[in-house]
Structure 1
Amino acid sequence: MDDLVIARSLFGTTMGFHIIFASLGVGLPLMILFSEILFQKTKDHDYAVMARRWTKGQAVLLGVAIPTGTIAGVQLALLWPGFMEVIGKVMALPFQIEIYAFFVEALFMSIYVYAADRISPKMRIVSVSLVLLGATASAVLITNVHAFEGTPAGFQIANGEIIDVDPWAAFFNASFLTTAGHVVVSAYMTGAFMIASIAAYKMLRNHKNERLYTFHRKALMLGLVIGGIFSFLTALNGHESAQLLHEYQPEKLAAAEGLFETTDYAPLTVGGWTDRESQSVKFGIEIPWALSFLAADAFDTKVIGLNEFPEEYWPPLFVHTLFNAMVGIGSLLILFSITGFVWKRVLKKDHFPKWLLWPFTIAGPLSLMAIEFGWIFACTGRQPWVIYRILKTEDVVTTTGQIGLLFILFTLVYLILGAAVLLVLRYYFKRHPVEHELDTPSDKEKGVTV
């Protein structure tokens, strides 16, 4: 196995692990904010308990997101020196601004956690809002580097030298807004569905305890409603992303749909897998004209096929499967949200049957899987380029060697970190069961300030 494959595997493993905590670190503050607002509006003590307990989980997750994000930054410099040379000259701006975004998030997270009983209700909402703002800004700024890789702008290369650098043009590259929007709404969706999953599981465990069941039902409905809204927005944003691919990375769109020949009235192929030899998608279901409409809002849009490009420029054809998995999970999550809303609000049922709660318990893990599939699709679908049509991945990888040993060591570190997070969360919430908090309002809930 050559250095390129091992380097990509190492960095991919690092980002795959980090993105779990980064996504939840953006999504959970939104849930905390909504629960805090609902408490202030309704004076329902249950929402204050939710905010407090979710904040504890957020603090643990943030404690892992920070070091794994640092590791990812170090690995960028160690594994991809040629890439970082370009980024350092052209696209350093997001990294510089992200420091301030993280500072805002960490500062107000500390205020919200340690001074909640000493500040007014309005200041608690302001604090958690700024936590959300800092976390969201961090995600947007770091993701903008990925957007730049797909739609580079703001510089020229002449005789191997980088010239005419315009940092703001690079920052506001063609896919900045769409990519930023996608990472934000998908993170919000994930945080909401993770809360819904935990609540559904607790409802199954406490179906005979009416007080606990009611508390967790409120959390479930909050998660399903917010998750449903942002899963729908994620789908809309995905439509915009497909149009960007059609305009700027047509071979990536063709690989995502297993389209080999340039076609107008192109069908959208759902399911199956791409077969290189027959140049078709085996066992896929075609939706007539849908791909053309997805690409440019017109059924007669001509969609460029893979055969228009040299085969060495083709992305790996398995990206079709990744794309289908991502879209399929997103559609299922929307269905979950609609079902829960109809059952509670339309049919006015206070108790959910077990057969309905069980699917809800997997909503959170499914949303994380969708993010993982989407991230792998986004990065793998850009190959063989690290900066599209400018810099190949194989040309910027390190030549220092010993990457295989690093891959093994870091994988062990991530396994230990992952196990530690689960154990810490389980230990804390087992030592502090929710029933001890439900009927004992703290000074925070009583509105006492110092």
Structure 2
Amino acid sequence: MDTVTLARALFGSSMAFHIIFATLGVGIPLMIVVAEILYHVRKDPDYSTMAKRWTRGFAIILGVAIPSGTIVGAMLALLWPGFMEYVGQVIALPFQVEIWAFFLEALFMSIYVYAADRLPPLARIVSVIFVAIGASASAVLITDAHAWMNTPTGFEIVNGEIVNVDPWAAVLNPSIWTTAGHVLLSAYMTGAFAVASVAAYKLLRRKRSAVEYAYHGKALFIALLIGGIMSVGTAVNGHSTAQMLHHYQPEKLAAAEGLFETQSRAPLAIGGTADAESRTLKGSIEIPWLLSFLATNSFDGVVRGLNDFPKENWPPLQVHSLFNLMVGIGTLLILMAFAPIAYRLLLKRAYPRWTLLALVATGPLAMIGIETGWIFSCTGRQPWTIYHVQRTSEAATQSESLGLLFVLFIGIYVFLLIVTIFAMQFYFKRHPVLPELAGREASST
């Protein structure tokens, strides 16, 4: 395996691990905010218990997200020295500001965890809202660098030198709002479905008291509602993403859809395999004219195909399958959220067991969608690290010792994952929800 491939594999593995905890670290705080607000509006102590227990889980997740994020930062400098030259001169600003976003999150997290019971209701809600704001701001600022790699602005290259640097133009690059919106909505969606998975699993266990069953039922309902809303938001944002790709990364859009010939009234292709040799998409289902509409807001809009670009600049054609998997999971999650909600509201019945079994899968499905989306976004930019500015081969390190590093860091990630699972199981087995609910009921009487 060559050095560039090893560098990509090592950094991709690091990101794949970190993104699990980073995504939940953005999505779970929103769920805590909702639970706190519902508690103070409805005066139902179940929501207060939810907020407290979700906060404990969030604290464990944050304990892994921080070191894994630090590793990813170190990987950037270690594996991509060519890229870091651009970062230092052009796009360092969001990395610097992100430190303050993390400080905001950590400060109010401490206030909420250690002083919430002694705060008035409004201050308690405000403190956890600032935790969510800090987590979301961190995600947006880190995403900004990724967006800039796709649509680089704020500098010029003259005689091989970086000149005329405008940091704010780099920060406010053309794809930042679309990309950041997609990252936030999908993170909120994933956090909600993670809660839904746990609640559905708890409801499947037959030996539950009525109090405990009601508690998990409420958690499942609000998780499905928020997850469904955020899934729809993610899908709507996908329309803006298609337009952004059409204007700024047409090769990526063409590869995502397996479109080789430039055409108006371009169809949206579902499934199939893109064949580079015959330059055709085989075995797909096509929805006439829909790609043109998504990309241009017109059914007659012209969408450029891969044949308009040199083959050496094509993204890997497997991104078509990645794109289909991402969109397919998002569509499925919308149905899996709103169908049970409609069943519960219209028929006033408990969820069937087969429905709960399906809902246990929503959290893992959402996470697979997140992973697939990031792989698609980064792979679809290849062969560029900075789109049409710096190739990945130019950005990568020339070190020959990456094989050993790869094995060592994969070992670290496996260890951290095992420790996280153990910590979650150990804590929540030692602190089940029923004694909290029973103690609360006893104190209220």
Q: Same fold (TM over 0.5)?
A: yes
Which residue does 1:185 correspond to in 2? Answer: 185
Check if 1:426 corresponds to 2:422: no
Which residue does 2:323 correspond to in 1? Answer: 323
Q: Which amino acid aligns with 2:405?
A: L
Structure 1 residue 16, shift from structure 2 partner: 0.5
Q: After superposition, where does 1:55-134 map in structure 2 within 5 Å?
A: 55-134=55-134
Distance 1:146 1:74 in 2: 16
Which residue does 1:406 correspond to in 2? Answer: 405
Distance 1:386 1:367 in 2: 27
Distance 1:6 1:327 in 2: 29
Which residue does 1:164 correspond to in 2? Answer: 164
Which residue does 1:333 correspond to in 2? Answer: 333
Distance 2:198 2:226 in 1: 15
Distance 1:90 1:3 in 2: 26
- Secondary structure of 2:281's aligned partner: strand
Q: How many residues align?
A: 444
Answer whether contact 1:206 1:213 (CA < 8 A) is retained. no
Q: After superposition, where does 1:206-225 map in structure 2 within 5 Å?
A: 206=206, 209-225=209-225
- Secondary structure of 1:398's aligned partner: coil
Greater Cα shift, 114-123 or 362-371? 114-123
Which residue does 1:387 correspond to in 2? Answer: 386
Q: Which amino acid aligns with 1:252?
A: K
Q: After superposition, where does 1:10-49 map in structure 2 within 5 Å?
A: 10-49=10-49
Q: Which amino acid aligns with 1:293?
A: F
- Secondary structure of 1:253's aligned partner: helix
Unaligned runs of 5+ in 1: none
Q: Which amino acid aligns with 1:357?
A: L
Moved over 4 A (4+): none
Q: Which amino acid aligns with 2:402?
A: I
Structure 1 residue 307, shift from structure 2 partner: 0.7
Answer whether contact 2:3 2:399 (CA < 8 A) is retained. no
Structure 1 residue 27, shift from structure 2 partner: 0.3
Structure 1 residue 398, shift from structure 2 partner: 0.6
What RMSD in Å do the two structures reach over aligned CA positions?
A: 1.3
Distance 1:156 1:278 in 2: 38
- CA gap 1:390/1:26 in 2 versus in 1, 3 angstroms: same
Distance 1:153 1:276 in 2: 31
Answer whether contact 1:268 1:287 (CA < 8 A) is retained. yes
Distance 1:400 1:376 in 2: 24
Distance 1:128 1:184 in 2: 17
Percentage identity across aligned positions? 59
Q: After superposition, where does 1:194-213 map in structure 2 within 5 Å?
A: 194-206=194-206, 209-213=209-213
Which residue does 1:153 correspond to in 2? Answer: 153
Check if 1:295 corresponds to 2:286: no
Distance 2:437 2:283 in 1: 53
Which residue does 1:141 correspond to in 2? Answer: 141
Residue deviations 1:221-243 (CA, integer Å, cap 9, x gap)? 01000000000000011110011
Answer whether contact 1:22 1:65 (CA < 8 A) is retained. yes
Q: Which amino acid aligns with 1:320?
A: H
Distance 2:15 2:207 in 1: 38
- CA gap 1:71/1:208 in 2 versus in 1, 3 angstroms: closer
Q: Which amino acid aligns with 2:214?
A: T
Structure 1 residue 441, shift from structure 2 partner: 3.0
Answer whether contact 1:252 1:382 (CA < 8 A) is retained. yes
TM (norm. structure 1) is 0.97
- Secondary structure of 2:439's aligned partner: coil
Check if 1:307 corresponds to 2:315: no
Unaligned runs of 5+ in 2: none
- CA gap 1:126/1:157 in 2 versus in 1, 3 angstroms: same
- Secondary structure of 1:441's aligned partner: helix
Structure 1 residue 208, shift from structure 2 partner: 5.1
